[in-house]
Structure 1
Amino acid sequence: MVNIVEKIDEIQAEMARTQKNKATEYHLGLLKGKLAKYRRMLLEPDPGSGGSKGFGFEVAKRGDARVCLIGYPSVGKSSFLSQVTKTKSETAAYEFTTLTCVPGVLNYEGADIQIVDLPGIIKGAAEGKGRGRQVVATAKTADMILMILDATKFSQQRQNLEKELEAIGIRLNKKKPNMSIKVTKSGGIKVNSLTTLKYLDTRMISNILKDYKIHNADVMIRDDLVTVDDFVDIINEKAIVYMPCLYVYNKVDAVSLEEVDRIAREPNTVVMSCEMSLGINDVVEEIWYRLNLARLYTKRRGQPPDFSDPMVVRANSTIEDVCDSIHRDFKDQFKYALVWGSSSKFGIAPQKCGLSHVVHDQDVVCIVVK
Structure 2
Amino acid sequence: MGIADKIKEIEDEIARTQKNKATERHIGLLKARLAKYRMMLLEKTKSSGGKSEGFDVAKYGDARVALVGFPSVGKSSFLSQVTKTQSAIAEYAFTTLTAIPGIIKHEGATIQLLDLPGIIEGAATGKGRGRQVVAAARTADLILMVLDASNAEVERRLLEIELEEIGIRLNQQKPNVTYQQKRTGGIKFTTSCQLTHLDDKMATQILHEYRVHNAEILVREDITVDQFVDVIVGNAKYMKCMYLYNKIDTITMEEIDRLGRSDPNGLVCSCKFQLNLDRAVEKIWRTLDFMRIYTKKKGSPPDFVDPFVLPRGGVVGDFCKAIHKELFNRMRHAVVWGRSVKHSPQKVGKNHPLADEDVVQIVTKNI
Short-chain TM bin: over 0.9
Which consecutive unaligned segments of at least 5 residues does structure 2 have?
none
Are the equivalent residues in 2 in contact too, given 1:53–1:133 (CA < 8 A)?
no
Q: Report how far residue 44 of structure 1 moved.
A: 2.9
Aligned to 2:14: 15
- Aligned to 2:273, the other structure's residue is in SS state coil
Q: Report how far residue 154 of structure 1 moved.
A: 5.9
Q: 1:42 to 1:330 in 2, by over 3 A?
A: same
Q: Report how far residue 52 of structure 1 moved.
A: 4.2
Aligned to 2:262: 266
Q: Report how far residue 364 of structure 1 moved.
A: 0.6
Which consecutive unaligned segments of at least 5 residues does structure 1 have?
none
Among residues 35, 55, 59, which one is paired with 2:57 in the alignment?
A: 59
Q: TM-score, normalised by structure 1?
A: 0.95
Q: TM-score, normalised by structure 2?
A: 0.96
Aligned pairs, number: 364
Give the aligned residue type for 1:313: L
Aligned to 1:241: 237
Structure 1, residues 221-279: CA drift from partner, whole Å, max 9, x if none?
1112x100010111122x11111111110010111100001111122110000111101
Q: In 1, Cα distance between the equivalents of 2:44 and 2:287? A: 33
Aligned to 2:113: 115
Aligned to 2:126: 128
Aligned to 1:310: 307
Q: 1:154 to 1:245 in 2, by over 3 A?
A: closer
Q: In 1, Cα distance between the equivalents of 2:133 and 2:173? A: 23
Structure 1, residues 96-137: CA drift from partner, whole Å, max 9, x if none?
010100000011001000000111010111111111111121
Mapping of residues 228-307 of structure 1, within 5 Å: 228-237=225-234, 239-267=235-263, 268-307=265-304
Give the aligned residue type for 1:24: T
Aligned to 1:85: 83
- Aligned to 1:323, the other structure's residue is in SS state helix
Give the aligned residue type for 2:29: L
Among residues 339, 359, 364, which one is paired with 1:342 in the alignment?
A: 339
Aligned to 2:28: 29
Q: Do structure 1's residue 351 and structure 2's residue 313 form an aligned pair?
A: no
Q: In 2, Cα distance between the equivalents of 1:303 and 1:44? A: 55
RMSD: 1.5
Are the equivalent residues in 1 in contact too, given 2:181–2:214 (CA < 8 A)?
yes
Q: In 1, Cα distance between the equivalents of 2:49 and 2:205? A: 29
Q: 1:198 to 1:229 in 2, by over 3 A?
A: same
Identical-pair percentage: 55
Q: 1:175 to 1:55 in 2, by over 3 A?
A: farther
Aligned to 2:43: 44
Q: 1:60 to 1:36 in 2, by over 3 A?
A: same
Q: In 2, Cα distance between the equivalents of 1:166 and 1:187? A: 34
